[in-house]
Structure 1
């Protein structure tokens, strides 16, 4: 129920969808004589706001605290027992219909996992990602990624496939049940930097200590974060992404899926794991 409600609610609350809906509402109100001035004014104001939100670096300011919450991983020489790759980087339905892997803009999750698999040849690799949708079951992402890893030379016996999860919270619980991590083991968690705080929080809640390995950064360094976007669509896309993640953090904390509102590195450093 939580999954369905959250997906439906977010469809209407997504900034870009909400802005377009308000513009259309203003145009509809303008059809009525008594509300014509108000409707036209509303559409004009929201249109200007949409352009401003799409071009100005507001989205970068929203994403930046999320992406800087956990520092990039630095190899400290300690052994790595496992790698958890969260889904979200592959278009499962398109991959299934094409018969080949079709990635999206989060493809770094898979690419970095391949690099880690070669760097730590004894580490197990757990891929977590199901295929649930609001309207039913879809193609699961994890088996597609697992097959791809095997095709690029990674021993399939090292790979664990978790294909039931539909949410980040389920990622953590089902991964824990499948991996059965032992005391003192070190597992790297690979996901997008903007998603890492919520991911670490749910893994901590599930009792699965992990070391963060953030990838797929959407913000740059220094003055790059203050540059306007070249396209309105680009700024709105990142605005949707950042707003969704902050809403997810609040929703997960409110429903006791994470132990704190904004999980930080201290949470991921427990249980034999560490960040540097």
Structure 2
């Protein structure tokens, strides 16, 4: 089996929802054979589900990732490159490229467009492989960027990196000793910055669209578990696992 595919399967299996489903299956199977095991599996699944969907907890652990870097304002020096790290898309005939991008890719692109308006001297590098699609994510983001008014001749693509480390490896030789802005999701930025620093690139961080946007005002509904927070907690879980792998591979 392909190593990249194996990593994806393993990561999916250890996500919160997968663990909850596994525990519920265990609770059902051993309901009569081992009632105590069944009870603890059900109790653990319920507890994990509650904690994963509880907004104050989910927001606090996500904020710990997202609060590492402030929003990009303007560089004191001319910017040579704006790097947009790869995300996810689905090519669908009849849809514009902007609609084919999943939310994380679109958010990164919008942030990059904003930065380009501040620094039109910069070249843009899009990144990301096809992942089974007919087009690479780098190419799809480029198409969407052109639709949003960025000049085609200012956009370079890296079509083959499959993960953040490969993006850093492939892009670093081009941007060494340049003034570089690194755009990715706010929760992903600490891991991305560490990889680029490993390969000698001291980029300016540009966090895109943080999950947690707090103005200090909350209502009673904020303390009610909801499904969106499960997705948010899963994202934190995924990034935490990525940081652990990054630490072991130093």
Determine if the TM-score, normalized by the shorter chain, exceeds 0.5. yes
- C-alpha change, 1:210 and 1:43, in structure 2 (3 Å) is same
In structure 2, stretches of 5+ residues that fail to align are: none
Query: Given the alignment of the two structures, is residue 239 of structure 1 paired with residue 233 of structure 2, yes or no?
Result: yes
- Structure 2 distance, partners of 1:169, 1:225, is 38
What is the CA-CA distance between 1:208 and the residue it aligns to? 2.3
Aligned to 2:193: 200
In structure 1, stretches of 5+ residues that fail to align are: 257-276
Query: Given the alignment of the two structures, is residue 249 of structure 1 paired with residue 243 of structure 2, yes or no?
Result: yes
SS of residue matched to 2:150: coil
| Equivalent residue for 1:95, pick from 83, 91, 94 | 91
What is the CA-CA distance between 1:253 and the residue it aligns to? 1.4
Can you list the C-alpha shifts for 1:162-208, whole angstroms capped at 9, x where unaligned?
Answer: 1101100011111224xx2253x211000111111100011111222
Aligned to 2:11: 10
- Structure 1 distance, partners of 2:22, 2:86, is 30
Aligned to 1:104: 102
- Structure 2 distance, partners of 1:229, 1:108, is 27
Aligned to 2:182: 189
| 8 Å contact kept, 2:78–2:121 | no
| 8 Å contact kept, 2:107–2:209 | yes
The normalised TM-score by structure 1 is: 0.80
What is the CA-CA distance between 1:146 and the residue it aligns to? 0.7
SS of residue matched to 1:173: helix
- Structure 2 distance, partners of 1:166, 1:229, is 38
The normalised TM-score by structure 2 is: 0.87
Query: Given the alignment of the two structures, is residue 158 of structure 1 paired with residue 143 of structure 2, yes or no?
Result: no
Aligned to 2:112: 113
- C-alpha change, 1:63 and 1:187, in structure 2 (3 Å) is same
Aligned length: 245
What is the CA-CA distance between 1:214 and the residue it aligns to? 0.8
C-alpha RMSD over aligned residues: 2.4
What is the CA-CA distance between 1:127 and the residue it aligns to? 0.3
What is the CA-CA distance between 1:222 and the residue it aligns to? 5.9
SS of residue matched to 2:33: helix
